[in-house]
Chains A and B, each alone.
Chain A
């Protein structure tokens, strides 16, 4: 019940395309859903986050879609660029405590 399942494990997208990463959870107590971006040798960096009271949040080329009834949320990267090549983690937490991370998605954007 504490797991956050993330897919796909890896993703290859052409430059300018849309990258889509999906996550699913079971614990209905989760109320904060952040996405982190991690480059090799660096710590994760917060990209964008959403609360369950909204179904979508957009920041620049990054959009989170949230489906509360299905207990799923996804990250969309529009106009993907080679500089977006990184590992992306979804996460969830009940009130910010005990954050649970997904297993990660390695994104490669081909130039």
Chain B
């Protein structure tokens, strides 16, 4: 079974630029998550989708971050404009259960904002 795929793996941008990350969850997994992991910290949930609907986005900085999951499969997370404090690893995870048990994580995208 293929795991959660993410791209790109690394991205370096200057502050105020925009960036987009892509995630392809495990086939059949209805629930998809985006997490932000700052160096030395645990992952922080940004947004949770159930199929293509948003379940929770309470910690998503909506003035600069946006996410979509078209057709209930792939998802894209965008940052526009980026700030220095957005430097982090952005992790995508998926889960078979609607409740989010047993989350499977992708390798992440390491973003550096200079």
Binding site for B on A (CB under 8 A): 6, 32, 34, 36, 41-46, 49, 89, 91, 93, 95-104
- A33 smallest CB distance to B (angstroms): 11
Q: Which of A44, A95, A103 contacts B105 (CB 8 A)?
A: A44
Whether B42 and A101, one on each chain, are in contact in the complex, defined by CB atoms closer than 8 angstroms, is: yes
Kindly report which residue of chain B lies nearest to residue A90, judged by CB atoms: B42
Bound state CA distance, A89 and B108, in angstroms? 16
Instruction: Give chain B interface residues in 69-94, CB to chain A under 8 Å.
Output: 91, 93
Q: Which of A49, A98, A102, A103 contacts B56 (CB 8 A)?
A: A98
Binding site for A on B (CB under 8 A): 4, 33, 40-45, 48, 55-56, 58, 91, 93, 95, 97-108
Whether B48 and A103, one on each chain, are in contact in the complex, defined by CB atoms closer than 8 angstroms, is: no
Q: Which of A32, A102, A104 contacts B40 (CB 8 A)?
A: A104
| 28 pairs of residues in contact across A and B, judged by CB atoms under 8 Å | A32-B101, A34-B102, A36-B105, A41-B107, A42-B107, A42-B108, A43-B91, A43-B93, A43-B106, A43-B108, A44-B43, A44-B91, A44-B105, A46-B102, A46-B103, A49-B101, A49-B102, A89-B43, A91-B42, A96-B95, A96-B101, A97-B48, A97-B56, A98-B45, A99-B100, A99-B103, A101-B42, A102-B42
